[in-house]
Amino acid sequence: MFCGIVEEVGRVTANTGRQGEARFTIAGKEIHDDLREGDSVSVNGVCLTATALEAHSFSVDVSPETLRVTNLGALESASSVNLERSMRLDQRIGGHLVSGHVDGVGTIIQRHHVGNAIEFHIAADGAILRYCIVKGSIAVDGVSLTINRISHSAFDIAIIPHTAETTTFGCRNVGDLVNIENDLIGKYVERLCAVSERSGSRP
């Protein structure tokens, strides 16, 4: 489990996977301090397992399914990625509860400056937008953000200067694909209500 507060931007240094799968080596400094083999790491919002550790890098294996439903398949050597270690129960939750199980991929269709912020207009399909609410939480490439506006085919987020400097959003442009994870609460509420309706019982 994560909270959507990126600890650092890492860099992909190698992909040694075979066709249809991937094994990325990722360089990082901050998260490497107490990272151990087998630990969970959020890479662009995707929960992965650190399978090998070196002096200033770690490796992760990515399955064909994960490559299919996320933007990790587009990573190349020198690509920048958002990194976050799994949260501890004794720390503050600065963002919101993020599982690292991506619901789908969106596309940046607009980027423009408004005051000190950068606003992104992100197109997404109905399966994602159905769980979006104005001023609700959403994780985009592993960053906990607030939804400002919603249309029939997209949602808007605003990136403050600090977030632009400490995540990959500072170099994100129109046409880029981003991983999206909806707020867990809405999905569980919908599921529980559906089960209650089928069984004829009250929630």
Report all structural domains of the chain as residue ranges with CATH numbers, in order of start: 8-85 (2.40.30.20), 104-190 (2.40.30.20)
Q: What is the pLDDT of residue 194?
A: 81
Find out whether 44 and 26 touch, Cβ atoms under 8 Å: no
Q: What is the pLDDT of residue 44?
A: 98
What is the total residue count of the chain?
203
CA pair distance 104, 90, nearest whole angstrom: 30
Q: What is the pLDDT of residue 18?
A: 81
Find out whether 181 and 138 touch, Cβ atoms under 8 Å: yes
CA pair distance 50, 58, nearest whole angstrom: 6
CA pair distance 41, 44, nearest whole angstrom: 10
Q: Look at phi and psi of residue 64 and say left if phi exceeds 0, alpha if psi is from -120 to 50, else beta.
A: alpha
Find out whether 157 and 146 touch, Cβ atoms under 8 Å: yes
Query: What pairs with residue 202 in β-bridges?
Result: none
Find out whether 6 and 143 touch, Cβ atoms under 8 Å: yes
Of 137, 171, 173, the C-alpha closest to 157 is 137
Helix (H, G, I), strand (E, B), or coil: what is residue 68? helix
pLDDT of the chain, 203 residues: tens digit per residue? 999 999 999 999 999 988 788 999 999 988 988 899 999 999 999 999 999 999 899 999 999 999 999 999 999 999 999 999 999 888 888 899 999 999 999 999 999 999 999 999 999 999 999 999 999 999 999 999 999 999 999 999 999 999 999 999 999 999 999 999 999 888 888 888 887 777 665 55
Whole-angstrom Cα Rg for the chain: 17
pTM of the model: 0.92
